[in-house]
Amino acid sequence: MTYYSQHGEDIILGEMLKDYQVGFFVEVGCIDGKRFSNTLTFEEKGWKGICVEAHAGYIDLLKINRPNSVICHHAAGEIDEDTVFYANARGSLSTLDKTKEKEWKKGYNEYFSGFEEQKVNKVRLSSLFDRLGITKIDLLSLDIEGYEIEALKGLDLSRHRPAIMVIETDGLCHEAKLDFILISSGYHKAMKFGGNIFYVTDIALSQHIAGKVLKGVITHTQHPLDGTGEHCIPVEIKVSELGTNIIAACVLFLCKFLINIGLFRI
């Protein structure tokens, strides 16, 4: 198998889902569909799926790179509406939240060129799945620059319940909100890796790989704005249980407590 993820997330997912000959994936936040993709390896294995991307500048390239997926030019959010998408030229650091601009100019000056306003249709994920007739989802990858909570609010987990979710996290307070939504909905928090959290409906999906050393070679393609070409990176991943960092655990506990008593809004 060829792997494309940023840190090896698809190597872990491949091991978790090794008994699935075919399946269905959803990737929300794809950019060109190849660079740092968590799901392309599954498409190449014969899985079906959909790619959801809000940035108008990458839709044509996404269609080329993901010929066997359904391409959906939408933003994912808590309600269905037409809205403004704040697009960064590189695709990453694009968002529905304009307040991120100052933070990203300061912290990511090399990659952030400023926002271009684009009109986009924002959809609840469950609205999109209903429209496409999707009922069973084996894998959901969600990476939309801090807007993951709002996207989950648009997912009816009583009807559309991905077996595995891999979600990019944006700090401990963001993680606490993810935990509150998903663990209270019956998900298990399986592991953290590469800035992502893995949630599963059945803990057996992750227990069988705990303690294993997974090896693979990740193919990283150049960003489309930087030309063409690729390089291969051998990786070795020791799959471990959730970390026990005391300070992080205390902050996470405090955030969850504030959520529970209503002082910290989701």
pLDDT tens digit string along 185-217? 999 999 999 999 999 999 999 999 999 999 999
Task: Give the rounded distance of the alpha carbon of 138 from its chain centre.
Answer: 14
Residue 58 lies in a domain: yes
Q: What is the three-class DSSP state of 43?
A: helix
Q: Structurally, how many domains does the chain consist of?
A: 1
Whole-angstrom CA distances from 245 to 46, 213, 248, 250, 252 are 39, 22, 5, 9, 11
Walk along the chain (266 residues) and give the pLDDT tens digit of each residue.
899 999 999 999 999 999 999 999 999 999 999 999 999 999 999 999 999 999 999 999 999 999 999 999 999 999 999 999 999 999 999 999 999 999 999 999 999 999 999 999 999 999 999 999 999 999 999 999 999 999 999 999 999 999 999 999 988 889 999 999 999 999 999 999 999 999 999 999 999 999 999 999 999 999 999 988 899 999 999 998 655 566 667 777 788 788 888 777 77
Distance between CA atoms of 80 and 119, rounded to whole angstroms? 14
- Quote the CA–CA distance of 24 and 139 in Å, as a whole number: 7
Question: Is 92 among the domain residues?
Answer: no
Say if 67 falls within a structural domain: yes
Other CB atoms within 10 A of residue 126 CB: 17
Residue 49 maps to which CATH number? 3.40.50.150
Q: What is the pLDDT of residue 247?
A: 67
- pLDDT tens digits, 98-118: 999 999 999 999 999 999 999
Tokens of 159: 């009807």
Whether residue 106 is contained in a domain is answered as no
Q: Is the pTM of this model over 0.85?
A: yes
Domain limits for position 134: 9-82+121-260
Give residue 144's pLDDT.
97
Residue 111 lies in a domain: no
Whether 239 is in a domain gets the answer yes
Q: SS3 sequence, 134-186?
A: CCCCCEEEECCCCCHHHHHHCCCCCCCCCCEEEEECCCHHHHHHHHHHHHCCC
Side-chain half-sphere of 77: how many Cα atoms within 13 Å? 17
Starting at the earlier edge strand, list the strands of the sheet with 81-87. Answer: 75-76, 116-123, 81-87
What is the C-alpha to C-alpha distance for residues 96 and 150, in angstroms, rounded to an integer?
A: 10
Question: What pLDDT, on a 0 to 100 scale, did the predictor assign at position 227?
Answer: 86
